[in-house]
Structure 1
């Protein structure tokens, strides 16, 4: 069905409409799924060592099923020295002992499946740990060896080779190159690491690397996982010759350096890798998925990652970064849906994850808030927690009304803020160390969850102190403290996720409701549900209709026509009569 045919251009109550996206009739559970991200070390600690584990995830899996999500995505749990919270993998086919065993993993998957939940695991194919057996073999074998060709080693520049091979910078600060000492004790080659020096990049020009990761995919598919979230999926292949780059280390566009020209990201050969992976997943059935963490711009380039024979989904970073900038938000939603519709793929939506300041904190500023990944410390301007939480509720209600898939990050259903008062000696993000503290890093959004307000460590675990300290405010936001309060953030999430499923909004349509798209509000129609978000300071009077869900109590109802005013920082879902809808 074309966009033009699915809806007339006007609705008696919604007003003039601009159709963007038709209802989705294609097969695939992921196309409308809500996927809940679990950061294992911060979810629940059952053995008392201060770090979350598989036993904790398994024990609390019913809480996730009760949220009415479709799947759980696990951040890395592989064997690792934990220099970068598990994104430095030393063995891709084993569980790190801090989380448990492979048997514990299998038990967790079985419990998820019993509850009707799928399990997706993080895969980190761009780099591994410097303790990985293949990298240790590369160090021992010497220049020009097949072992060294598994990674990106180069001779240095200058007469003595004392300068890095090029000017690339690490995402975590400093050079993206580290020089080694050769087996004979002499200064040697340099190896590339787009992240920490403990995370050498694989050489994806080597077919042996391809074969190794195809083996890893099959290992986890054989254990029943429903798919993979692919870490920095746009970075595996580097441009031939490794040319210099004067733009941002993360490849985002900047003046004079458009992101599509970054030589370490988005190279054409990547797509053949993911086509091969897609074929492997299809051997296991039609419902295993690949989701790309591909931070590419401009947004239409994202469609290249989700063509019918490649990835099933890609994270929508432009949406995450848009905040509450309404013109930008409208443009990104429109461009996302039209670009991905062109290749038959669903869009995804996300507001928080383990790499950015939580949106309940970001939205607590009158200005745009901190730069993603930099974190907030006690010496920085402080957010207004109550304002941030109210705006977070409004933004979440808006996002979950959109058609497509959605990702939510553990704890956002509780309205958790970032941890701000983390002593320097407890910070663990490598960004903090590599920048000498200039960037605090991502520890604040990774603070362990509160489960029970009156228990030690707010119920995260009853043994050692959590690996990162919890803010004082976490106790009052604990899951059990919110469970019995109908107006709590948790119960808002429960209601809106349940309503999203019942109304099938993930499979729905989108038309902008022009009368309600103003300088201070943004509105769209999904089927017969009108979603309106008001970020202005004044109340917004809305049309008659059945209130399906709202972020907080409306500021006033009309007695006869059921009209009401939407307060500042509120979002509403209204069911209204719509003529001309199909399907």
Structure 2
């Protein structure tokens, strides 16, 4: 368990809830806050310490909540502020903390701020968003490309200017160079902190500030068709600007006042990622999300190299974190297969640092098959056929053999292949993926060396990845062939398989050994 000198989040395991798809309490087919409250016992039994809830603010749902129309409210689809307060109280009573998703780069185009901003060039809130004159040919001001494809600019005929939007036209970018915007957004964070929220995951943090002169981005020399339109250029000037770090410090100061944690979504190479930790004098977010396990090949040598590089790059006092998946990326069981997904779970929950689980991974769910006429994701609808759609990882959780998510029609269909993997069945199965996750999380909670201890002797032996956590040796076979363990003998504490042998690994087997 965490010591008195360590922040709570260092020993914690975070569980991401995509609220539309977790549990529906009222039969409208959309998950809600009361549904989460009704299923808190499941989360307690699983053994997690905190939940991160994807956006629940009022929203037109052009991007399913990542287009926020009010930063201090609850969308009626999810419930009310009173429902949120009740969930928060119930979660805290159960020993579970709550993180919200903060979306600072952009708002909805229906947010009152943007309605005012686009009403005229002279409106006091005009500079709350990023407006630019057309290029000499009347086109967009520069060559920046939206992450959802096409120009990162939308023309507003009424005022004759373009506004910046890194994602959908319905998601105009806020101007974080404006001190009034900074003050308003920090006040929104404080609203939730004062309500008792334990932290935030900060959406696309590295996008928040744009180059002040708006130069063209350079072409991507490695672009190839099928990568997605956004990759035609390198986002050199539209993301990761140095001014973003002072904003991170302002957010950190507020979070520390409340003993809360900030997790930043930042898809950048390790050297740049580390800058988001900040410095002793100007700290940044506590946990810049580390996506190494999502991006790596399932290869022992590569994983060992990435772990070593990441650990070596951490600044003094920087705490590591790891994640296998989220609401935007393919599921781990799809990427490595269901057998290796158990090995991946052992990897995630035995590395040094704070792990984040994505709902459904503890059931071994793979990417769902979504019929073309049921597709909801705007990214898939804008760039169909490229495999960029996110619906396959956002379908509702199967709670029982009939689904159990809702009494109505779910907003996305449950894949029939997911039904046999339902919670009720796995909870009673001693060798299920869910049972395995519960055992792993219980072991992590009960073992200080696995929760917050050091990591060393990270190495690859053929297809086997091994490392030490104090007196424990973790050995993971990333292949479908058996392997002799060329390490010290020890007592088997936990295996991905029944009846483990401490001297050899079966195909796709992971072991936790106590070696001294």
Corresponding position: 1:538 with 2:510:
no
Residue equivalent to 1:173: 149
**Offset at 1:76?**
0.2
**Offset at 1:408?**
0.2
Conserved 8 A contact 2:490-2:515:
yes
Once the two structures are superposed, what CA deviation does each residue of 1:217-250 show, in whole Å capped at 9, x if it has no partner?
Answer: 111011100011100111111112111113569x
SS of 1:95's equivalent? coil
**Offset at 1:436?**
4.4
User: Following the alignment from structure 1 to structure 2, what is the Cα–Cα distance between the partners of residues 248 and 79?
Assistant: 37
Once the two structures are superposed, what CA deviation does each residue of 1:276-295 show, in whole Å capped at 9, x if it has no partner?
Answer: 122222332xx211111111
User: Following the alignment from structure 1 to structure 2, what is the Cα–Cα distance between the partners of residues 37 and 550?
Assistant: 25
Moved more, 66-75 or 331-340: 331-340
Once the two structures are superposed, what CA deviation does each residue of 1:141-196 show, in whole Å capped at 9, x if it has no partner?
Answer: 2x35432211111111124x2x111111111111111111216xxxx211111111
Gaps of 5+ in 2: none
Conserved 8 A contact 2:107-2:172:
yes
Residue equivalent to 2:443: 499
- Using a 3 Å threshold, how does the CA distance of structure 1 residues 392 and 323 change in structure 2: closer, same or farther? farther
Once the two structures are superposed, what CA deviation does each residue of 1:286-345 show, in whole Å capped at 9, x if it has no partner?
Answer: x21111111111x022221113422111110123211412222112211221222x3311
Residue equivalent to 1:164: 140
Residue equivalent to 1:566: 505
Gaps of 5+ in 1: 1-22, 364-387, 558-562, 578-583
Q: Of 352, 355, 358, which residue of structure 2 is paired with 1:403? A: 352
User: Following the alignment from structure 2 to structure 1, what is the Cα–Cα distance between the partners of residues 301 and 443?
Assistant: 27
Corresponding position: 1:129 with 2:108:
yes
User: Following the alignment from structure 1 to structure 2, what is the Cα–Cα distance between the partners of residues 474 and 462?
Assistant: 18
Corresponding position: 1:412 with 2:334:
no
Conserved 8 A contact 1:168-1:244:
yes
Q: Return the TM-score normalized by structure 2.
A: 0.93
Conserved 8 A contact 2:476-2:509:
yes
Q: How does 1:380-399 map onto structure 2 within 5 Å?
A: 388-399=337-348
Corresponding position: 1:98 with 2:77:
yes
**Offset at 1:81?**
0.4
Q: Of 261, 269, 275, which residue of structure 2 is paired with 1:304? A: 275
User: Following the alignment from structure 2 to structure 1, what is the Cα–Cα distance between the partners of residues 330 and 294?
Assistant: 11
Corresponding position: 1:86 with 2:35:
no
Q: How does 1:356-395 map onto structure 2 within 5 Å?
A: 356-363=329-336, 388-395=337-344
Q: Return the TM-score normalized by structure 1.
A: 0.83
Q: How does 1:139-538 map onto structure 2 within 5 Å?
A: 139-141=118-120, 143=121, 145-159=123-137, 161=138, 163-182=139-158, 188-247=160-219, 262-284=236-258, 287-297=259-269, 299-307=270-278, 308=280, 309-340=283-314, 342-363=315-336, 388-420=337-369, 422-453=370-401, 455=402, 458-463=403-408, 465-504=409-448, 505-512=450-457, 514=459, 517-538=460-481
Query: Whose RCO is larger (CA < 8 A, sep 6+)?
Result: 1
- Using a 3 Å threshold, how does the CA distance of structure 1 residues 150 and 508 change in structure 2: closer, same or farther? same
**Offset at 1:259?**
10
User: Following the alignment from structure 1 to structure 2, what is the Cα–Cα distance between the partners of residues 215 and 572?
Assistant: 47
SS of 1:234's equivalent? helix
Conserved 8 A contact 2:220-2:234:
no
SS of 1:459's equivalent? coil
User: Following the alignment from structure 2 to structure 1, what is the Cα–Cα distance between the partners of residues 304 and 504?
Assistant: 22
- Using a 3 Å threshold, how does the CA distance of structure 1 residues 77 and 349 change in structure 2: closer, same or farther? same
**Offset at 1:120?**
0.5
- Using a 3 Å threshold, how does the CA distance of structure 1 residues 322 and 193 change in structure 2: closer, same or farther? same
SS of 1:474's equivalent? helix
- Number of matched residues? 503
Conserved 8 A contact 1:174-1:434:
no
User: Following the alignment from structure 2 to structure 1, what is the Cα–Cα distance between the partners of residues 235 and 31?
Assistant: 40
Residue equivalent to 2:515: 576
SS of 1:473's equivalent? helix
Residue equivalent to 1:547: 492
User: Following the alignment from structure 2 to structure 1, what is the Cα–Cα distance between the partners of residues 384 and 311?
Assistant: 41
